[in-house]
């Protein structure tokens, strides 16, 4: 007997592997059907029942599947006990339980039996499933797990067996009938082994005899449950409707007339790839709709919070101004200020720490009532990311309980707990959930009602309405907004596809072959009227919004920076500080260490120095940030102790004598007239900001120190938001829309680099002309043309425009570190990042400081590493300990280097333009270098010629007033620095230090309102000092024009100082310096080539790698030649180099390649490393063997090098096993060395080519080097031109190169022709030569011959393959040549 | 044609450009030495120019001839003498 059965349920279980005793987990059975067949497949019995739901209801999502509504089940169902009894009877008769995917039904029924406490044999009976690996093998539907076939659904199995689909899945009776048919057919086809069926071997034969034909349906009549349910529902509906009458609605509309609506459920781009709204748009939409407030509720993160509040504040300010103007004009103020509401939509799961179960939880919207509430949101968001992240950032109810203060809860969308449970689990469970939230939040819980026009929502809303009435919870209307305008729905849909890597053409839905998407286009920022219209039958939902808004008080997130407490020595502590949080102790300590430092820095502390220090300390005290200096001083001191190079300073901080005394900076401000007030304005309290450069290798160690000192929970890195750029948004959109890759690429390439689509579209043509260069403009116009069409490309561009700028991913800011006074989550929401153990702030670099966080920039400066490396090499080679900070600033040789313009590789001075200026300027003092560094940038660049002529005495140096000479002398009368403006304003017009700084800022940023205010003061002050007004007027005008170009002298001095150090090293230790430069650019082949050129120009030898001399980095050998670093050879890892160098140091240089193979660690240095070293010439110093031999095999397929490695490995193995020879003494095991096979040497070109392959450049020299002069003198083109011949039609080109490949061929009609490849410094090109020309020139076509080619480019025949029309004509060379010279002569 | 033969075949005339402001006795005699040490039978021209008023004078050397070679040109480049071929 076989019992085939199937059930329909209230849904799916939460956990599939829960035991049947876990009755909460398993859904309820609402329909069961079975058929009992005897062994020969004859129907014995069949029954089916609807089960009457007792104490639960059927959720809508389940009803959608099987069509059984609660009403239907209640009307037609029988009590569960009765059903179980009947089922038990059927089971008593059977031998097997059969079903499709029957495990689920077994569990459902098992749980039901368990609930009722009825004994049953269900779990003991043997099971035959029709959905197994075996049936999967039969159906062969691809796409299963692990590359297997997919398990077939009932329909699929049916279709396979009977070649007809079976349509009415999900009605238990029909399913059972179909399952039975399939099952019996499977037996008939002998797909079950006899053992499994526990039958005699002749069973199948008997069965086939009994059923000679394909099994047929038994022909039951099925009730269409959906239709039946609908009938009942319709009947009920009629009874229910008429609840809200026309009159009531009219009245409602009237009450709503004055009500204001506010959107409380909005997503911004910070809900990564889920919303197209950016913060500005959100606020603009709010303002346009004249709403008094707006909320931001991103998915689990608070990244947008600060920007949001800031933007709202800016908006309010402009509105305030506008209103004030309106009032002043006697008009009604029209602007509406906006109240920002910060919220967050959390994923609330069972247990956020459980990372074994994939539980996304329910989405709940929390809103902050005030700042305290905001902080709680931050805490929760931080927990979600740091502890609860499992696919999504999650929290749980325990977390909410802990941080529920000052928080308002909305029940959320359909994925919220209450609506979600109504839809999927059952009303009772939903009610329970609601009661939990009510118990926790009381009046601060609101039931959120949404109407996006979806049936499921309407169903839920009915229940929600009931709940609201029953439990006295207020309703609130909301719209889940993901985009601003309805028109953006499509773009938003594309964004979702980008997120999931889907195509838009894929239908929306669940499961395989479907994708996620919003069900309709209603998720936009609706106007208040639209919302009122939607909720006209429940006016309180709209009215309650105001109540929420009133509960919320607006607050600001900007605050002063909080410093971590710095531990000062006991004797400086002041008891009062504890009481009023004062800084007396810190100030005293700072005073102390400053003067301690001053004693070391200055031979004598003159009254001027003392005055300056005291003034600075006073300003620092006033600013309230003495701790900042202590913190910085601390880690810089520590960095130096750890042998990390610290830059001499950076930015305006170099103007502080205190910083100089504390050794934070290394430039004496008094010596260079650097101003403290440029750094900290004494009249305005502001936060000091000291940026520090470290060598880029040591930077990490300093960061580690800071983390250790302040504790990992007080230190965080800063997030960076990765946004979709123009090109990537085009490419992404194209992929989603299925635009071919090539087209997408073509369009993307039309966008000028570093430009944005927003800058191209919607802009006047004249504006475009201004913005772009002519060739860019052409591309831009093409883009505009494409966008105007109505094909897929136009569509792509249109959508890409909307998506551009969307947040795509997050990263870490490379050098910023946040330090907070206590646990960081008290101050800012944090997250974690992939490649960092530290927390990462959710606020980005642009706002962290405004949010009150202390930010330290640890910048890595490669040049510092470079200096350090050079010092190291010099120490190793000459035994001289160089101290860069002690280099004399009047070193003749260094200035000569600058005068020659030999500044390649010199920090900040290496550009060709700078070289030219250096040659003309011929700097002789350090001040010249500072000035040039300040002048060489866009803007002030035009003053350089004037500066040069004045310096060299070719132009007169004049001053508007003799008083100005004091400060302008060093720059030959030209105002170069902001400091000069500041000093002059003080001297000429008696400005205070603070005013001077304000003036500087206003000039630099062209703030004309401030300048207008200051001008009379300047003229007055100047006149008081007896200066003629006309001259003052002129000075002011000059300043206005030029001062925005003036540069920060503090910074310029610091960087000129670093540059001077590098130049000093280059002048005195050229080889060592260049080795360091090369090492530091080792990863960039182009740079290496460039610097190698410079080495050659300087007359330095650069030698290829050599295992007996090279290190990982570039080095200098005893003859003063630069030795190539083995680390720069491709395929040679650091470990390989380490073992080579180590063993060389230990036991002296390697005598041969065998010697080396014997000694080094062969695990660290693999075959590839050996090969590439050989190719690069690393073994050349072994003398007798040439490179080709290493790769020669003696016909046995094993190269010599492989033999060597094997030999080495064997040798080491034997040595380790310490075999003792039979004759005692000789522990040296004798293995014969492989013989070096004789073979032909590689040609120069071959050698160089291979060499280039592994090191990226020709080290031993470029083959064309010998012909440089010829090439310069006689070539007007290069090989690269050959690939763009269309530009050279009817022109004659001459170029030189090496022939690297030749193939002589014979054409069909017996004429010879050839393919040959020409290579020059940069390019290679394959040419073809035919006919007469071939015969004429073929003797030149030899590999490695250097040729000089003159060609005349003529439009030729149409090439069928490429459509190109050019051909090279070597014939007409001579005549053309003459013509060209003739033309030149005419010109002369 | 082979690159090695280019210089011989195509080099016809060497024109040396001199800025009048930079004409110094020492420089000239050095230049003379260089040219003498590369005697040959290629034509030698001078162009002397003046930047301010943009005047230039072409001067043909009738007696002095040079052998244009890679070495000569390199030497000239090192001395920062501007030259033109043909």
Q: Where are the alpha helices (DSSP H) in A387-426?
A: 397-402, 417-424
Helix and strand element counts for chain A (H, E): 56, 27
Q: What is the pLDDT of residues A1219-1250, one digit of tens each?
A: 555 555 544 556 778 888 888 888 776 788 78
Both structure tokens of A1146: 């230990």
Q: What is the mean pLDDT of residues A1163-1189?
A: 85
B6–A1340: do the CB atoms touch at under 8 Å? Answer: no
Q: What is the pLDDT of residues A1018-1044, one digit of tens each?
A: 999 999 888 888 889 988 888 888 777
Indicate whether A1111 pLDDT > 80: yes
The pLDDT value given to residue A335: 80
Q: How many CA atoms lie within 13 A of B42 on its CB side?
A: 23
pLDDT tier, A121 (very low <50, low <70, confident <90, very high otherwise): confident
Indicate whether A1313 pLDDT > 50: yes
Indicate whether A64 pLDDT > 90: no
Which residue has better confidence, A773 or A649? A649
SS (H, E, C) A33-81: EEEEECCCCCEEEEEEEEECCCCCCCCHHHHHHHCCCHHHHHHHCECHH
The pLDDT value given to residue A590: 93
The pLDDT value given to residue A1219: 55
Low-confidence winner among A162-166, A1053-1057, A1118-1122 (lowest mean pLDDT): A162-166
pLDDT tier, A1385 (very low <50, low <70, confident <90, very high otherwise): very low
Indicate whether A1373 pLDDT > 70: no
Q: Where are the alpha helices (DSSP H) in B1-86?
A: 3-10, 25-37, 70-78
B6–A1388: do the CB atoms touch at under 8 Å? Answer: no
The pLDDT value given to residue B17: 86
The pLDDT value given to residue A1382: 27
Interface of B with A in 56-75 (CB under 8 A): 58, 70, 73-74
**B86 interfaces chain A, CB cutoff of 8 Å:** yes
pLDDT tier, A152 (very low <50, low <70, confident <90, very high otherwise): confident
Q: What separation, in Å, do the N-terminal and C-terminal C-alpha atoms of chain A show?
A: 112
**A1340 interfaces chain B, CB cutoff of 8 Å:** yes
The backbone torsions φ and ψ at residue B50, rounded to the nearest 5 degrees and listed phi first, read -135, 125
Cβ-based neighbours of B43, under 8 Å, separated by 6 or more: B12, B13, B14, B60, B61, B65
| d(CA B18, nearest CA chain A) in Å | 16
pLDDT per position in chain B (86 positions), as tens?
A: 777 777 778 888 888 888 887 778 888 888 888 888 888 888 888 888 887 788 888 888 888 888 888 888 888 888 778 888 87
pLDDT tier, A244 (very low <50, low <70, confident <90, very high otherwise): low
CA angle A713, A719, A725 (to 5 degrees): 170
Q: What is the mean pLDDT of residues A1047-1053?
A: 92
Q: Given B4, B11, B74, which is nearest A1346 (Cβ)?
A: B4
| d(CA A1304, nearest CA chain B) in Å | 18
- Nearest chain A residue to B84 by CA: give it: A1273
Q: What is the mean pLDDT of residues A935-961?
A: 88
The pLDDT value given to residue A933: 92
CA distances (Å), A161 to each of A34, A135, A181, A879, A1168, in order? 21, 10, 9, 88, 57
Residues of chain A with pLDDT > 70, as a percent, come to 95
**A1008 interfaces chain B, CB cutoff of 8 Å:** no
B3–A1273: do the CB atoms touch at under 8 Å? Answer: no
Strand, helix or coil at A14? coil
pLDDT tier, A1358 (very low <50, low <70, confident <90, very high otherwise): very low
A1296–B85: do the CB atoms touch at under 8 Å? Answer: no
> How does the average pLDDT of chain A come out, rounded?
85
**A1388 interfaces chain B, CB cutoff of 8 Å:** yes
Query: Which of B6, B55, B60 is best to mutate for the A interface (most A CBs within 10 A)?
Result: B6
Indicate whether A393 pLDDT > 90: yes
The pLDDT value given to residue A595: 94
The pLDDT value given to residue A235: 72
The pLDDT value given to residue A75: 85
The pLDDT value given to residue A167: 66
Indicate whether A923 pLDDT > 80: yes
> CA dihedral defined by A1371, A1375, A1376, A1378, rounded to 10 degrees?
150
- Nearest chain A residue to B58 by CA: give it: A1388
Q: Where are the alpha helices (DSSP H) in A772-909?
A: 774-788, 792-803, 845-848, 862-878, 892-900
Residues of chain B contacting residue A1268, judged by C-beta atoms under 8 Å apart: 70
ipTM: 0.79
Indicate whether A660 pLDDT > 90: yes
The pLDDT value given to residue A1381: 27
Residue A1002 in contact with residue A1017, Cβ under 8 Å? Answer: no
pLDDT tier, A1085 (very low <50, low <70, confident <90, very high otherwise): confident
**B7 interfaces chain A, CB cutoff of 8 Å:** yes
Cβ-based neighbours of B16, under 8 Å, separated by 6 or more: B31, B44, B45, B46, B47, B76, B81, B82, B83
The pLDDT value given to residue A617: 93
Q: What is the pLDDT of residues A610-640, one digit of tens each?
A: 999 999 999 999 888 899 999 999 999 999 9
pLDDT tier, A1361 (very low <50, low <70, confident <90, very high otherwise): very low
Q: What is the pLDDT of residues A491-527, one digit of tens each?
A: 999 999 999 888 999 888 877 788 999 989 999 999 9
A1269–B74: do the CB atoms touch at under 8 Å? Answer: yes
Residues of chain A with pLDDT > 90, as a percent, come to 29
Indicate whether A1193 pLDDT > 50: yes
The pLDDT value given to residue A1230: 67
The alpha carbon of residue A374 and the mean position of all alpha carbons in its chain are separated, in whole angstroms, by: 27
The pLDDT value given to residue A931: 93
Provide the 8-state DSSP code for A647. Answer: -
**A1336 interfaces chain B, CB cutoff of 8 Å:** no
A1158-1184 b/e (C-beta count within 10 Å ≥ 16 → b): bbbebebbeeebbbbbbbbbbbbebee
Residues of chain A contacting residue B70, judged by C-beta atoms under 8 Å apart: 1266-1270
Indicate whether A1139 pLDDT > 50: yes
The alpha carbon of residue A398 and the mean position of all alpha carbons in its chain are separated, in whole angstroms, by: 33
**B14 interfaces chain A, CB cutoff of 8 Å:** no
Indicate whether A1056 pLDDT > 80: yes
How many CB pairs below 8 A link A and B? 41
Indicate whether A673 pLDDT > 50: yes
Handedness of CA A1077, A1081, A1086, A1092 (dihedral sign): positive
- Nearest chain B residue to A1273 by CA: give it: B85
Which residue has better confidence, A1360 or A1124? A1124
The pLDDT value given to residue A239: 60
């Amino acid at each position: 007997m076989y019992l085939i059965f199937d059930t329909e349920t209230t849904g799916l279980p939460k956990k599939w592997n829960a035991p049947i005793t876990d009755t909460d987990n398993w859904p309820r059975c609402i329909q069961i059907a079975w058929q009992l067949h005897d062994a020969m497949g004859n129907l014995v019995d069949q029954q089916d029942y609807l089960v009457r739901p007792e104490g639960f209801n059927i959720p809508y999502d389940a009803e959608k599947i099987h069509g059984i509504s609660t009403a239907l089940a209640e009307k037609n169902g029988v009590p569960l006990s009765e059903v179980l009894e009947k089922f038990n009877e059927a089971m008593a008769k059977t031998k097997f339980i059969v079903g499709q995917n029957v495990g689920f039904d077994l569990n459902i029924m098992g749980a039901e039996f368990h609930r009722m406490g009825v004994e049953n044999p269900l779990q003991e009976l043997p099971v035959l499933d029709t959905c197994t690996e075996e049936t999967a093998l039969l159906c062969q539907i691809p796409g299963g797990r692990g590359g297997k076939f997919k398990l077939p659904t009932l329909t699929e199995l049916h279709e396979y067996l009977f070649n007809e689909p079976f349509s009415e899945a999900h009605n238990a009776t029909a399913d059972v009938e179909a399952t039975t048919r399939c099952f019996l057919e499977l037996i008939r086809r002998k797909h079950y082994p006899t053992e499994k069926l526990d039958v005699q071997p002749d069973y199948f034969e008997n069965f086939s005899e009994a059923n000679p034909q394909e099994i047929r349906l038994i022909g039951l009549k099925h009730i269409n449950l959906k239709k039946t349910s609908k009938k009942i529902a319709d009947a009920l509906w009629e009874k229910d409707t008429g609840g809200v009458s026309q009159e009531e609605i009219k009245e409602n509309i009237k009450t709503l007339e004055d009500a204001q609506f506010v959107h409380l459920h909005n997503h911004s781009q910070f809900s990564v790839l889920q919303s197209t709204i950016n913060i500005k748009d959100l606020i603009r939409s709010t303002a346009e709709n004249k709403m008094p407030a707006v909320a931001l509720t991103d998915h689990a993160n608070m990244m947008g919070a600060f920007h949001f509040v800031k933007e709202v504040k800016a908006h309010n300010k402009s509105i305030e101004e506008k209103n004030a103007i309106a009032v002043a004009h006697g008009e009604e103020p029209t602007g509406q200020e906006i109240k920002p509401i910060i919220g967050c939509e959390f994923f609330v799961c069972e247990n956020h720490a459980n990372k074994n179960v994939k539980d996304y939880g329910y989405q709940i919207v929390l809103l902050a009532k005030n700042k305290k509430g905001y902080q709680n949101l931050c805490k929760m968001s931080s927990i979600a990311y740091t502890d609860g992240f499992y696919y999504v950032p999650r929290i749980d109810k325990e977390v909410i309980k802990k941080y529920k203060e000052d928080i308002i809860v909305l029940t959320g969308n359909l994925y919220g707990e209450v609506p979600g449970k109504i839809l999927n689990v059952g009303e009772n469970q939903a009610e329970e959930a609601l009661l939990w939230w009510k118990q926790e939040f009381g009046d601060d819980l609101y039931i959120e009602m949404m109407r996006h026009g979806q049936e499921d929502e309407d169903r839920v809303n009915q229940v929600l309405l009931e709940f609201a009435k029953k439990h006295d919870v207020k309703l609130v209307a909301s719209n889940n907004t993901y985009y601003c305008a309805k028109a953006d729905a499509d773009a938003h849909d594309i964004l979702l596809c980008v997120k999931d890597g889907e195509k838009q053409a894929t239908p929306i839905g669940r499961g395989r072959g479907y994708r996620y998407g919003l069900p309709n286009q209603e998720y936009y920022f609706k106007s208040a009227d639209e919302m009122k219209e939607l909720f006209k039958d429940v006016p309180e939902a709209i009215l309650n919004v105001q109540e929420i808004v009133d509960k919320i008080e607006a607050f600001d997130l900007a605050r002063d920076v909080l410093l971590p407490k710095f531990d000062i020595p006991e004797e400086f502590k002041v008891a009062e500080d504890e009481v009023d949080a004062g800084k007396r102790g810190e100030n005293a300590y700072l005073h102390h260490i400053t003067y301690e430092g001053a004693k070391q820095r200055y031979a004598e502390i003159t009254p001027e120095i003392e005055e300056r220090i005291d003034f600075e300390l006073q300003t620092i005290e006033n600013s309230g940030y003495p701790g900042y200096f202590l913190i910085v001083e601390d880690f810089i001191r520590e960095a130096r102790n750890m042998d990390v190079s610290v830059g001499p300073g950076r930015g305006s901080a170099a103007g502080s004598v205190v910083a100089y005394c504390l050794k934070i900076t290394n430039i004496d401000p008094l010596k260079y007239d650097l101003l403290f007030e440029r750094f900290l304005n004494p009249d305005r309290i502001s936060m000091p900001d000291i940026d520090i450069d470290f060598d880029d290798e040591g930077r990490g160690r300093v960061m580690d120190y800071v983390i250790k000192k302040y504790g990992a929970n007080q230190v965080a890195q800063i997030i960076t938001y990765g946004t979709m750029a123009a090109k990537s948004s085009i490419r992404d959109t194209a992929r989603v829309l299925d635009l071919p890759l090539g087209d997408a690429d073509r369009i993307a390439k039309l966008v000028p680099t570093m430009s944005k689509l927003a800058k191209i579209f919607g802009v006047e043509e004249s504006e475009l002309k201004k913005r772009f260069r002519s060739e860019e403009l052409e591309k831009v116009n093409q883009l505009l043309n494409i966008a105007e069409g109505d094909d897929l490309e136009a569509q792509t561009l249109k959508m890409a425009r909307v998506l551009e700028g969307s947040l795509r991913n997050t990263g870490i800011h490379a050098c910023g570190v946040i330090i907070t006074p206590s646990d960081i989550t008290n101050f800012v929401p944090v997250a974690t990042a992939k490649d960092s153990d530290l927390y990462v702030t959710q606020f980005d670099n642009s706002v962290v400081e405004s949010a009150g966080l202390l930010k330290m920039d640890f910048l890595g400066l490669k040049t510092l590493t470079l200096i350090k490396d050079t010092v190291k090499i010099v120490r190793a080679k000459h035994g001289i300990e160089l101290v860069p900070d002690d280099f004399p600033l009047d070193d003749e040789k260094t200035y000569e280097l600058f005068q020659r313009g030999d500044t390649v590789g010199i920090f900040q001075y290496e550009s060709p333009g700078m070289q030219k200026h250096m040659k003309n300027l011929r700097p002789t003092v350090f001040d010249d270098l500072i000035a040039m560094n300040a002048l060489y940038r866009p803007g002030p660049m035009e003053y350089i010629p004037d500066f040069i002529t004045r310096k060299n005495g070719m132009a007169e140096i004049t001053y508007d007033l003799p008083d100005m000479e004091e400060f302008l002398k060093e720059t030959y009368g030209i105002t170069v620095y902001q400091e000069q403006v500041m000093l002059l304003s003080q001297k000429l017009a008696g400005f205070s230090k603070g005013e001077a700084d304000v003036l500087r800022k206003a000039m630099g940023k062209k703030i004309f309102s401030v300048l207008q205010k200051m001008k009379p003061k300047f003229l007055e002050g100047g006149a008081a000092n007896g200066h003629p007004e006309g001259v003052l007027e002129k000075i002011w005008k000059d300043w206005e024009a030029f001062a925005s170009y003036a540069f920060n002298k503090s910074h310029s001095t610091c960087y000129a100082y670093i540059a001077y150090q590098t130049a000093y090293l280059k002048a005195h230790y050229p080889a060592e310096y260049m080795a360091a430069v090369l090492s530091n650019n080792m990863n960039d082949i182009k740079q290496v080539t460039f610097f190698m050129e410079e080495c050659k120009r300087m007359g330095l030898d650069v030698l290829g790698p050599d295992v007996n001399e090279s290190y990982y980095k570039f080095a200098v050998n005893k003859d003063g030649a630069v030795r190539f670093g083995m680390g720069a050879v491709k395929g040679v890892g650091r470990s390989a180099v380490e073992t080579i160098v180590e063993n060389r140091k230990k036991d002296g240089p390697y005598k041969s390649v065998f010697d080396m193979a014997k000694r080094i660690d062969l695990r660290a240095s693999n075959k590839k490393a050996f090969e590439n070293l050989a190719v690069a010439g690393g073994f050349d110093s072994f003398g007798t063997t040439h490179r080709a031999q290493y790769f020669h095999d003696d016909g046995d397929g094993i190269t010599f090098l492989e033999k060597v490695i094997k030999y080495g490995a064997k040798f080491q193995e034997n040595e380790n096993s310490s075999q003792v020879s039979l004759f005692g003494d000789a522990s040296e095991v004798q293995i014969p060395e492989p013989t070096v096979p004789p073979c032909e040497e590689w040609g120069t070109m071959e050698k160089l080519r291979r060499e280039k392959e592994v090191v990226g450049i020709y080290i031993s020299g470029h083959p064309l080097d010998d012909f440089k002069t010829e090439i310069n003198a006689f070539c007007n083109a290069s090989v690269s031109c050959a690939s763009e011949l269309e530009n050279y039609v009817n022109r004659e080109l001459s170029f030189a190169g090496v022939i690297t490949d030749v193939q002589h061929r014979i054409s069909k009609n017996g004429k010879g022709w050839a393919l040959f490849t020409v290579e020059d410094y940069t390019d290679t090109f394959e040419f073809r030569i035919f006919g007469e020309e071939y015969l004429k020139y073929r003797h030149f076509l030899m590999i490695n011959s250097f040729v000089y080619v003159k060609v005349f480019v003529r439009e030729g025949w149409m090439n069928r393959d490429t459509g190109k029309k050019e051909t090279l004509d070597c014939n007409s060379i001579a005549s053309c040549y003459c013509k060209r010279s003739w033309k030149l002569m005419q010109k002369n | 044609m082979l690159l090695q033969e280019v210089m011989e075949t195509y080099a016809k005339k060497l024109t040396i450009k001199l800025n009048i402001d930079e004409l110094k006795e020492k420089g000239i005699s050095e230049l003379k030495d260089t040219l003498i040490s590369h005697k040959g039978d290629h034509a030698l021209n001078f162009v002397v120019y003046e930047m301010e008023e943009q005047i230039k004078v072409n001067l043909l050397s009738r007696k002095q001839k040079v052998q244009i070679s890679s070495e000569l040109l390199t030497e000239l480049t090192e001395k920062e003498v501007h030259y033109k071929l043909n």
